[in-house]
Amino acid sequence: MNYAIVEQDFKLLDESTLRQIALENQMSYLDLHENMELEKYLNILPLSLIEQYQILCFKEDEESVSIASFKPLEEEVLEKIQNLHRLKIIKIHLCVFTLFQFFLEKVKFLIKFQNYLDRLELHLSKDENQDEILLEQFLELILSYACFLKASDIHLEPLENKALIRYRIDGNLAKILDFDLRSFQALLTHIKIVALLNVAEQRQAQDGSFSKILLEQKYDFRISIMPLLYGQGVVFRILKQDEQQFKLDQLLIAKDRLLRLKTYIKAPYGLVLFCGPTGSGKSTFMHAILNEIDRDKKIITLEDPIEYKLQHAQQILLNSKADFDFHKALRAVLRQDPDVIMVGEIRDEESLDIVLKASLSGHLVLSTLHTNSALEAVYRMKHMGAKEYLIAYSLNLIIAQRLLRKLCECKEASFETFCFQNQTIKGMFYKPKGCAKCMYSGYKGRLMVAEFLFLDQNIKSMIENNSSYEGILQYALKNGFVGLGFDALEKAKCGLISIEELKKTSI
């Protein structure tokens, strides 16, 4: 079949146009929103044909073979498929490319994974030396598929009789597949070699890292290996090297809070503190703020490891093995004449004391602390030994945040009544539905919800005079403070998050 529309244009066509093309050419349109069991049909087409012509088989019976594609197929392609299944009817189904791509990549991954396992098993059964090239290709397949799915972490977990591969996607762990322990052990050894770790060490935890170019993009991988009951577990943290930095205007912060935030980060000195659990987006938010700060100012960051590369900042990589630890670096930074200092994390009493004093001596300091709410940070610092007057006059702003899963475009509207933070909420909200774009989870990506405690002179005085938690909170609420939960509620009313995600902020 010859068409005026080139392949690249077919990738842009919507459902209605593809339905019309299918109808005109006696083909069918395939709705990929249906949950398809592709694993049953992986061996119907050879991988070379799948990759060359971007097709996949989604159904086979005694009479026919059903092929999915985002474009009509040429006669030569149809002939190749027909030669493989001479006695069966070949049915071509068109589908939207953005949906089709997810299934195509899944099929290619599953076929390649099984091929690598078969080849690896053959090597191991013959007691041959490990094929490092094969293992490298095997590892790259696992990493590439995770990057395609935009996973943040990869978990390789040994169990009693098998090993699991799981990806963390939008904050949730999803099982990808399992495989035999012998192959897992060979892969584990190769990972240690790539990350320059001790291959013989099995009783101690090890950390390492490496970089790779995958899917035409450079990625950093941080590796943690931990001894477990049935072997050693491996976790990869995926960091996209040249990932576009978020801008403050893209973080869906309410206009009034955004304006105050931009004013506070222009302060010549003081402490801006970011609070929340691990994986709540604190580092990303800090780097977004650093990108907003005047380029004429000298910015120095202390990080372990460096997660985002900033063009206009001096970034210090800590190295405890070389006796260049956090405390030494922090003291040295103060002698480098900085305007702005970013400290990856306040880890102990000594680092807290240095950060507080730096913020009072003419430096704007950004740092993080693990607390559940903004106001809790004040009392956490007190418990770490900080004096009330130092806390009061160093702090400018405390931000507590979480990352919640964002609803996919396939969301469904419904009228809901529910209880949230001792209030009855009624109205039109959205719930997840599920489609190929979001791997049938109903969610795609994550967004930040946050509370901003802007410290005015009255709050500073209350902290210095050791006022109660409830007293400071009541004053803040009367003066425009919006808690984490109610920021999430605003986003739920806009259809950005579900009620299920909203309720996570009140746990």
Q: Residues 218, 269: one domain? A: no
Number of H helices, E strands in the chain: 17, 19
Q: Residues 335, 393: one domain? A: yes
Tokens of 209: 């890292």
Q: Calculate mean pLDDT across residues 409-433.
A: 92
Q: Residues 281, 201: one domain? A: no
Counting the structural domains of the chain, the total is 3
What is the C-alpha end-to-end distance of the chain, expressed in Å?
58
Q: Calculate mean pLDDT across residues 2-18.
A: 75
Confidence category of residue 5, pLDDT binned at 50, 70, 90: low
Assign residue 351 the CATH number of its domain: 3.40.50.300
Q: Residues 155, 72: one domain? A: no
Instruction: Dump pLDDT digits (tens) for 95-148.
Output: 989 888 888 998 999 999 999 999 888 888 776 666 788 999 999 999 999 999
Q: Residues 292, 191: one domain? A: no
For residue 313, what is the DSSP state?
S
Tokens 């999915």 correspond to what residue? 68
How wide is the angle at C-alpha 356 spanned by C-alphas 353 and 358, nearest 5°? 105
Q: Calculate mean pLDDT across residues 399-416.
A: 94
Instruction: Write out the residue range of the structural domain in which residue 74 sits.
Output: 7-98
* Cβ partners under 8 Å of residue 294, min gap 6: 266
In a domain, 103, yes or no: no
Instruction: Dump pLDDT digits (tens) for 466-478.
Output: 999 999 999 999 9
Instruction: Dump pLDDT digits (tens) for 385-394.
Output: 999 999 999 9
For residue 324, what is the DSSP state?
B
Give bridge partners of residue 314 from the DSSP assignment. Answer: 300
Q: Residues 37, 147: one domain? A: no
Residue 45 has pLDDT above 90, yes or no: yes
Q: Residues 331, 235: one domain? A: no
In a domain, 167, yes or no: yes
Assign residue 50 the CATH number of its domain: 3.30.300
Q: Residues 357, 491: one domain? A: yes
Tokens of 334: 């103060």
* Count of C-beta atoms within a 10 Å radius of residue 91: 15
How wide is the angle at C-alpha 474 spanned by C-alphas 472 and 480, nearest 5°? 100
